[in-house]
Amino acid sequence: MERKTAHGEDWFMFPKPNKNAKLRIFCFPYAGAGASIYKKWEDSIPMEVELCVATLPGRENRRGESAFKDFSSLIEVVAEEIIPLLDKPYVFFGHSMGALLSFELARTLGEKNIELPIHLILSGINPLKSNDKLEMPLSSMSDHDFISLLHRLNGTPTEVLENKEVLNYFLPVIKADFALLNSYSFAAGLPLECSITAYGGMDDTPAASLKDWATHTVSTFAMKMFQGDHFFINSARKEVLAALRADLMMIVNKVTERDEMAILENFLNCKKKASPLKRGATRGGKQRALAENIKKNVRMFK
């Protein structure tokens, strides 16, 4: 299911809408990829969580649109489009380019005084330092050399790279995404208030580098390493999804605990504000009124 946003485009897709979910996870794709890389995750996440996948312009169902080549412009538009969907506690997950989108989107929402995600799961990317740029090889490369690079990165199926017709569709998308990454420059800012978990491939990102994500939060930080190279989320998919499921259940439990505490707090406030029994009033009647007040508060958190 796709939800139209203010501009009418399908910026976010809900493979299995779940109005009773306690938590929503937004997933952002890596360079050259689209929403399809996450669609099959719906059966692996907890039933209390609703999966929402970003559908960026220039690919798959939006291939007729121009892909963004300026990172800041994309973040601003995505921030505007996602705000109406932040009506329940949420988490961001992104791999590689998607992780960078997740991180900068959280910072932008914070600057707009929008409630932050409860948690960020940043996969397959090292944190950058002030004024660092992602210098992706692009402008000086021929298509032949670029395809050879994609072979070495091991993130694009061989059948795609060897099919000229499919490749003609795929190359403009990934080149646009590389240009998008080239436009990005990290600017130092205040650490986020949401917790962060970093996922890394043992043959890709050094654990010591991933640990630096801890400096970007004032909350808790965790790190998980998986067998594989940069695209371990595909090669170690079973292990990644098991870890993600565990992380999401932990967050769901925290959300549930927070809601229960809020209900209890409202109950105690109601009790404090309750007036003394008036002459002729029954204690049972007062308790029924208090119970009705509590039920209203419970409904607020469902």
Is residue 241 located within the same domain as residue 135? Answer: yes
Q: List, for residues 208-230, the tens digit of each pLDDT value.
A: 889 999 999 999 999 999 999 88
Is residue 60 located within the same domain as residue 46? Answer: yes
Is residue 265 located within the same domain as residue 244? Answer: no
Contact 130, 187 (CB under 8 A): yes
Is residue 288 located within the same domain as residue 233? Answer: no
Query: Domain containing 20: what range?
Result: 2-257
Is residue 229 located within the same domain as residue 275? Answer: no
pLDDT at 254 over 80: yes
Query: Phi/psi of residue 159, each to 5°?
Result: -65, -25
DSSP β-ladder status, 49-54 and 119-123: unpaired
Is residue 132 located within the same domain as residue 178? Answer: yes
Residue positions annotated with a catalytic role? 96
Residue 35: pLDDT band (50, 70, 90) is: very high
Tokens of 158: 């061989």
- Give the mean model confidence (pLDDT) for residues 60-86: 94
Domain CATH code at residue 127: 3.40.50.1820
Please tell me the pTM assigned to this model: 0.81
Contact 37, 96 (CB under 8 A): no
| Domain count of the fold of the chain | 2
Is residue 216 located within the same domain as residue 276? Answer: no
Query: Which residues, in sequence order, are CB contacts of 172 under 8 Å at separation 6+?
Result: 58, 67
Residue 29: DSSP 8-state: P
Is residue 175 located within the same domain as residue 296? Answer: no
